Amino acid sequence: MLDKLFDTNNSDLKYGLSGLATAPVGYLVLLFLPVYLEVVGINLSLTDQQIGWLASTDSIGLALATFIFSIFIKKVNFRKVLLVGVVVTVVGNLLSALTQDFLVLCLIRAITGLGEGLIVAVGISALGMTQNPNRWFGFYTAAMVVVQAIGLVLVPIIYDYYLLSGVFIGLALFYLLPLAVIKLLPCKSNDYEIAGGALKPKFKQPNKLLNLALISLFFCYMGFSGVWAYMSLMGTRVGLTLSFVSQSLAISMIAGLFGAIFFALIGDMSKRIGLMLISLIAMALSLWGLDSDLTELRYLVALCIFSFFWSIASARLSAAISDVDHSGQYISAAQTVLGLAYILGPILASNLVQDTGYTKVIMMGTVLFGLCFIFLLPLARFKTT
């Protein structure tokens, strides 16, 4: 059907659209993380430390799958990989709905993460093969925010009516969506080279700078995942209701959507170093707004500021790598780094949680955002022409 709606002879449009419809779905659990952890924690009576460990389980499989994909990216058929990923995630979520044991659930989620990683790797690689990665990664971030907002609203509602098993069944259905665009995906990693109008970069690929950028991405997502895992709990532990917290998280996604659209539309301004620096500073300051004397209004405003600038920072990180890695190999490997960050971030944060609050978790995020900027700076200053 999509073949009729769009000019699918335009490879850039095909790769962009299929990437937008695929990669965000692979990240569903990570996008829904605050409310997902909240409902699982309530249902299984988990401790803060167990919540931190559970937050990392999907990421274990995701990191492994994206790493393997990045190694064999030039040999695999993207469409077949996507099909395998969908099957694994659907089965994994259906099995998750049948267990009430924490350790068994962690094992199932780690295996399910393998499928999630394959879906992500295919979608991100397709986006990396577009001719204007900066714009497409802006739209990608917007798509992530939309999916995230839907999930943050729906997960508590589904849980209220159908309990935890209903949440996992809902996730299983969501993971079927990428099949709708499977025919728009590239088959091989070199398809962009033979597609009409695609150009190879005319500069030597700066591998050392790209490696530094991967470290930057690791620090940024480690900080984000650590604070994101406890974002809901920061509100509910001071007396805010789960209903208000989930609604606030969803509303903040609107701010994130504006941030992503802003990034996608500002053209070459999006590549300015100052924009990345301002975004990271704003994110850190918004976290400190959650540290004490938290009211409903303050919680909502801090979340909106954080989400707006997170959309800009995350889109720029991906675009900075893809700008000089047109084949998609490095941007695929970046998903492995991202997966590792999502494993270690919540674990580190869980060890910093105190009975008196989440100050050390917020401090962790602030330091890691600073390191992110330092390691991204060399690639951000690199000129491709």
* pLDDT at 254 > cutoff 50: yes
Q: pTM for this structure?
A: 0.75
Would you state the torsion angle of the CA atoms of residues 202, 208, 214, 219, taken in this order, to the nearest 10 degrees? -140
pLDDT of residue 203: 56
- Span 155-177, average pLDDT: 90
* pLDDT at 4 > cutoff 60: no
Spatial CB neighbours of 126, under 8 Å, sequence gap ≥ 6: 15, 16, 18, 19, 22, 23, 78, 185, 186, 328
What's the number of CA atoms in the CB half-sphere (13 Å) around residue 196?
A: 6
Tens-place pLDDT, residues 175-203: 999 999 998 888 876 555 544 444 444 55
Tens-place pLDDT, residues 16-64: 888 888 988 988 888 887 788 888 888 888 887 788 788 888 888 888 9
pLDDT of residue 212: 92
Q: How many Å apart are CA 306 and CA 319, to the nearest integer? A: 20
Buried b (16+ CB within 10 A) or exposed e, 132-168: ebbbbbbbbbbbbbbbbbebbbbbbebbeeeebbbbb
Sign of the torsion angle spanned by Cα atoms 137, 140, 145, 146: positive
Tens-place pLDDT, residues 268-302: 787 788 999 999 999 999 999 888 788 899 999 99
Query: How far are the Cα atoms of 4, 6, 8, 129, 279 from residue 12, in angstroms, in the given order?
Result: 16, 12, 9, 8, 29
pLDDT of residue 193: 54
With H, G, I as helix, E, B as strand and everything else as coil, classify residue 354.
strand
Beta bridge partners of 19: none
User: Average pLDDT over the chain, rounded to whole?
Assistant: 84
Domain 15-194+206-380 fold is Growth Hormone; Chain: A; (1.20.1250)
Q: 51 with 350: CB under 8 angstroms?
A: yes
pLDDT of residue 7: 44
